Amino acid sequence: MSKIPHGWRMELTDCIASYMKARFQEEVFSGPCTLPDILIPFLVLCEADRISSVISQAYRCPINVGKNQGGKTCNAEAAERYMEVTEPSILVTDSNTIRIWYLPDTLSPKRRANIWNRLHLLREPLWESIKASPQAWRTDKSYFRDDAELKGAINLSPAWFQQGRGPQNGFPEASQLLKSRTENTSTREWVNQMSDTNALLSAILHVIHP
């Protein structure tokens, strides 16, 4: 990754991603022993080790799905009999190209529960999206169940680059929902509480889809 100012939350993402990639190299390819950066909190480090173990297990369990001339993946044997995949695995073609990573239970049960428990922080901005654009295809009330606890759609990315061009100052720009200091405080709280989890998810992509 490019140089990140010290103290940014993205600095933690960079540290976790580098550590998990090194752990993957160590476990799968007998790479050098790696030590975690001191910036990584202990609980996040434990989660990163768990995730690295699941990714390594998946890489060691390739399932060949073949490839036909039309470019679509297929497997004649699998077409004749159903095959259930229950363990971490990768689906590869005859040329050993990875098509799919299957990583069940990668995040710990506690972290998965925390993700669901924090969704209530997005209830207000989701409802505001319906009131602001009731006829838009993403926020039409008729598309949501009447008894649903969360309804609506929000365009939320903690930091993004403008499409088609980079920002003038070279840094990401905050999402609209995060710019105001007087509104949508629950949205900023959700981003803050999810920062460790988002860092872990970004680190997973850094390893399996660089």
By the 8 A CB rule, do 197 and 114 touch? yes
Domain that holds residue 31: 9-105
The predicted model scores a pTM of 0.77
Q: Give the CA dihedral 124, 128, 134, 137, nearest 10 degrees.
A: -70
Are residues 176 and 144 part of one domain? yes
When mean pLDDT is compared across 6-10, 15-19, 186-190, the lowest value belongs to: 6-10
Q: Which of 105, 127, 145 is the last residue of a domain?
A: 105
Question: 95 pLDDT band (50/70/90 cuts)?
Answer: confident
Classify residue 204: in a domain, yes or no: no
The pLDDT, as a whole number, for residue 56 is: 96
Are residues 98 and 133 part of one domain? no
CB contact set of 48 (below 8 Å; sequence gap of 6+) = 16, 19, 20, 23, 36, 40, 200, 203
- Write out pLDDT tens, residues 135-177: 788 888 888 888 888 888 887 765 555 555 555 666 666 777 7
The pLDDT, as a whole number, for residue 106 is: 94
d(CA 48, CA 54): 10
Classify residue 1: in a domain, yes or no: no
Classify residue 82: in a domain, yes or no: yes
- Write out pLDDT tens, residues 32-60: 898 999 989 999 999 999 999 999 999 99
**Cβ atoms < 10 Å from Cβ of 24:** 21
Q: Which of 72, 105, 138 is the last residue of a domain?
A: 105
* Confidence check: pLDDT of 72 > 60: no
Tell me how many domains the chain contains.
Answer: 2
The pLDDT, as a whole number, for residue 80 is: 55
Mean pLDDT of 196-203: 93
What value does the mean pLDDT of the chain take?
82
Classify residue 159: in a domain, yes or no: yes
Q: Which of 82, 105, 128 is the last residue of a domain?
A: 105
Residue labelled with tokens 């050993």: 96
d(CA 122, CA 119): 6
Please report the sign of the dihedral spanned by the C-alpha atoms of residue 50, residue 54, residue 55, residue 59.
Answer: positive
